[in-house]
A = this chain, B = another copy of it.
């Protein structure tokens, strides 16, 4: 996206802010004081079943969209131990022949390996999962030369580091972390940390405690800075969801005594506080976190990731239990975005900055976020 397009985007944002149309979820969330666990499980299974019956991908069944979806399926299995999830996981891994997607320098293309490693850890049969393609990818990804690492790519997105866009922090680091744990090779964790810091240093806004999606959205302090119609910085809900949920995934499997663990715990806490501060009244975050009036409706992929990460924090002692009601509210609102047949709606389509969703808009990664949220909400008190 060049600056001309960004300007157009800003105009559109402006227009939307001024005419802020209020879109309602599929059905209005009912006020319920407690959450019925069997009800959560039933919603999750329906979401899985609908998604499995509607296979979708951007460019391959091994791409990041499937990767994110099957992280959700893996977490649902981890939380419920229901073999309906493991059956789906094994089925995709088998037919994908345990392959990553093909661009070895691109974090997106190894996201699917989270599910492969998970299956290998839980699925039982020896020699069923083939982690060789994952290993080859990770080694090439970490150690081979490429334009991004070298800083020779001239894109205005700032492709001068390996993980130059914040989504990448969901795609590759949890895989490296889990692979390090599963194969007992801490070097993969160390490498993860090195590249993670690069992204953190470039895209994390310490004042706002949120991540810019990429360098186009990092202010340089001049009149070319991309602004929301209300004058604020552009912080994309899903983009921050990728980072925030990715942090929970990483912490979940990172050794408790890992030397850099405090950095991740601290970052998790900073983001959690911010995400809670800006949670809209109805429970779901808007696609533009600091200009919610742009598209004034809850968006499910970002909100699902936030809900997962917050609930995980409560369940794992990193977040005070007093935030439980806020998280439950978010889940109830997420559930209200699910259609009767299981489809998870209100998911912003593939993109790189705030855009609207609709009751009917869906994507596998949105279903994945929904499953991730459910998997941790299930474990609240």
Contact = CB atoms under 8 A, between A and B. Distances in A.
Most interface-central of A49, A52, A53, A90 (chain B CB within 10 A)? A90
Contacts of A55: 87, 91
A59 interface: yes
Interface string A26-61: 000000000000000000000001001111111111
A352 interface: no
A145 to B, nearest CB: 24
A51 to B, nearest CB: 11
A228 to B, nearest CB: 28
A90 B49 contact: no
Contacts of A54: 49, 52, 84, 87
Nearest to A49: B53
A94 interface: yes
Interface string A66-98: 000000000000000001100100110010000
Nearest to A46: B341
A128 B61 CA distance: 12
A154 interface: no
Contact of A125 (B52, B59, B94): B59
Contacts of A94: 57, 60-61
A58 B59 CA distance: 28
Nearest to A92: B55
A56 B128 contact: no
Contacts of A59: 125, 128
Nearest to A60: B94
Nearest to A83: B56
A320 B304 CA distance: 52
B56 A87 contact: yes
Nearest to A63: B125
Nearest to A54: B87
Interface string A101-145: 000000000000000000000000100100000000000000000
Contacts of A83: 56
A97 B83 CA distance: 26
A90 B49 CA distance: 20
Contacts of A91: 55-57
A90 B128 contact: no
Contacts of A125: 58-59
A283 B118 CA distance: 41
Contacts of A49: 53-54
A86 B273 CA distance: 40
Nearest to A91: B55
A125 B57 CA distance: 11
A158 to B, nearest CB: 23
Contacts of A53: 49, 52-53
A205 to B, nearest CB: 32
A42 B125 CA distance: 36
Nearest to A50: B49
A55 B90 CA distance: 9
Given A49-B54, A54-B84, 13 more contacts: A52-B53, A52-B54, A53-B53, A54-B87, A55-B91, A56-B87, A56-B90, A56-B91, A57-B90, A57-B91, A58-B125, A59-B125, A59-B128
17 contacts: A49-B53, A49-B54, A52-B53, A52-B54, A54-B87, A55-B87, A56-B83, A56-B87, A56-B90, A57-B90, A57-B91, A57-B94, A58-B125, A59-B125, A59-B128, A60-B94, A61-B94
- Sort A-B residue pairs by CB-CB distance and give the 7 closest, nearest first: A56-B87, A55-B91, A59-B125, A59-B128, A53-B53, A54-B87, A54-B84
